[in-house]
C-alpha cells in the first residue's frame, strides 16, 4: 500500500528480498520507498511487512508516540510497516513501528537509507477453501 500522496507515482508491490531506499519522488511532496536502481517507482508495502535497514534508522522530524521531540537516530535497524490515522483521509498514513513501540511516518525518514524486505505479512491464498468442520465426537460415558 502506498500513501495517498503517491497515487500518481508509478508503483509496484514489495517482494521479499527487495533492496529499498528511502526517497523523495519528483511529482510528490512526500517520501516513500523505491527499489535500489528504480528511483522513479514507489515500492508499496502492506501493513506487517518487516524491514531491516543497513544502518540505524534516522528521522528528520519528531516521532509519534515517543517521548516528545526525537530527531536523528531512532535506535534500531529493524521495523515493521504500519499505517496510522486511517480515519483522516488527507493525512500521511504510512509509518514504521519499532520494537520499542515508537512510530515514525515514512515521509519523516531521512532520504537515502537502505533497507531489505525481510518478510511480507501473511495473506489468504487465492482459491483457499475452508474445510468443513468434522462432526464433534459423541461422548460416551
Nearest to 76 by CA among 100, 106, 103: 100
As a whole number of angstroms, the distance between CA 2 and CA 46 comes to 8
What predicted TM-score, i.e. pTM, was given to this entire model?
0.74
Q: Would you state the cell numbers that stand for residue 121, as one nine-digit string?
A: 505479512
Given a cut of 80, whether residue 68 has pLDDT beyond it is no
Pairing of β 11-13 and β 38-44: parallel
Q: What is the pLDDT of residue 70?
A: 46
Residue 63 and residue 70 in contact, taking contact as beta carbons nearer than 8 Å = yes
User: Strand order of the sheet with strand 19-24?
Assistant: 11-13, 38-44, 31-35, 19-24, 114-119, 50-53, 78-83, 94-97, 103-105
Given a cut of 60, whether residue 76 has pLDDT beyond it is yes
Given a cut of 50, whether residue 67 has pLDDT beyond it is no
Given a cut of 50, whether residue 137 has pLDDT beyond it is no
Residue 78 and residue 51 in contact, taking contact as beta carbons nearer than 8 Å = yes
Query: Mean pLDDT, to the nearest integer, of 81-94?
Result: 86
Nearest to 109 by CA among 97, 118, 121, 100: 97
Q: What is the pLDDT of residue 101?
A: 85
Could you tell me the CA-to-CA distances from 107 to 6, 86, 113 in Å, in that order?
A: 11, 16, 12
Given a cut of 80, whether residue 38 has pLDDT beyond it is yes
As a whole number of angstroms, the distance between CA 44 and CA 54 comes to 19
Amino acid at each position: 500500500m502506498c500513501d495517498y500522496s503517491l497515487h500518481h507515482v508509478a508503483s509496484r508491490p514489495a517482494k521479499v528480498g527487495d533492496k529499498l531506499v528511502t526517497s523523495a519522488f519528483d511529482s510528490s511532496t512526500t517520501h516513500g520507498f523505491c527499489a535500489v536502481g528504480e528511483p522513479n517507482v514507489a515500492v508499496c508495502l502492506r501493513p506487517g511487512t518487516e524491514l531491516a535497514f543497513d544502518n540505524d534508522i534516522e528521522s528528520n522530524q519528531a516521532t509519534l508516540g515517543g517521548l516528545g521531540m526525537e530527531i536523528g537516530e531512532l535506535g534500531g535497524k529493524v521495523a515493521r510497516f504500519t499505517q496510522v490515522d486511517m480515519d483522516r483521509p488527507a493525512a500521511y498514513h504510512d509509518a514504521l513501528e519499532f520494537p520499542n513501540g515508537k512510530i515514525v511516518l515514512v515521509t519523516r525518514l531521512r532520504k537515502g537509507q537502505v533497507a531489505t524486505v525481510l518478510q511480507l505479512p501473511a495473506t489468504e491464498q487465492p482459491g483457499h477453501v475452508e474445510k468443513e468442520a468434522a462432526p464433534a465426537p459423541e461422548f460416551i460415558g
